[in-house]
């Protein structure tokens, strides 16, 4: 679903993490911030999962609802992660990770992704079952 093997993903993650840390520091220390650093809700997904979510979106281009279902977050949260991570991927990955634009009618819904990738059903079911 990502076009990357685990070692490639780990290498990409190692490249992006310093950029992510710098971007987070800039975001948290901006002058118009209303809360002190540490205020506000925590992220629902770890950084590596946010990056994975964004790569899946780039490669498969599912709807935000489908992406949220895959990762156990809302569609608005999935969109927020994409907006935050995509610029980091575009700069750190040397143009191999670009914004897709196949048009609104070509976005994939969860049912389409599950039909094309049957092994994905196991992953989705694992997220939906209580631990």
In a domain, 25, yes or no: yes
In a domain, 98, yes or no: yes
The neighbour count for residue 110, using CB atoms within 10 Å, is 17
Q: Is the pLDDT of residue 122 over 90?
A: no
In a domain, 36, yes or no: no
In a domain, 72, yes or no: yes
Q: Which residues contact 71 (CB under 8 A, 6 or more apart)?
A: 45, 49, 53, 78, 127
81/67 Cα distance (integer angstroms): 11
pLDDT digits (tens, 9 = 90+) for 52-86: 899 888 888 888 898 888 888 999 999 999 999 98
Quote the domain boundaries for residue 82.
6-29+43-128
42, 56, 64, 50: which is closest to 13 by C-alpha?
50
pTM value is: 0.68
Q: Which residue has the higher pLDDT, 37 or 5?
A: 5
In a domain, 38, yes or no: no
In a domain, 37, yes or no: no
In a domain, 1, yes or no: no
Phi/psi of residue 30, each to 5°?
A: -70, 150
Number of domains in the chain: 1
């Amino acid at each position: 679903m990502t076009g990357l093997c685990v070692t490639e993903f780990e290498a990409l993650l190692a490249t992006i993490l310093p950029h992510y840390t710098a971007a987070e520091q800039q975001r948290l220390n901006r002058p118009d911030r209303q809360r002190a650093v540490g205020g506000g809700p925590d992220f629902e997904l770890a950084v590596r999962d946010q990056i994975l979510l964004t790569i899946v979106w780039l490669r498969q281009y599912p709807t935000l609802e489908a992406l949220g279902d895959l990762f156990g977050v809302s569609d608005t949260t999935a969109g927020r992660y994409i907006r935050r991570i995509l610029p980091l991927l575009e700069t750190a990955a040397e143009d191999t990770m670009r914004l897709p634009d196949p048009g609104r009618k070509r976005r994939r819904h969860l049912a389409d992704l599950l039909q094309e990738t049957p092994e994905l059903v196991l992953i989705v079911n694992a997220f939906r079952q209580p631990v």
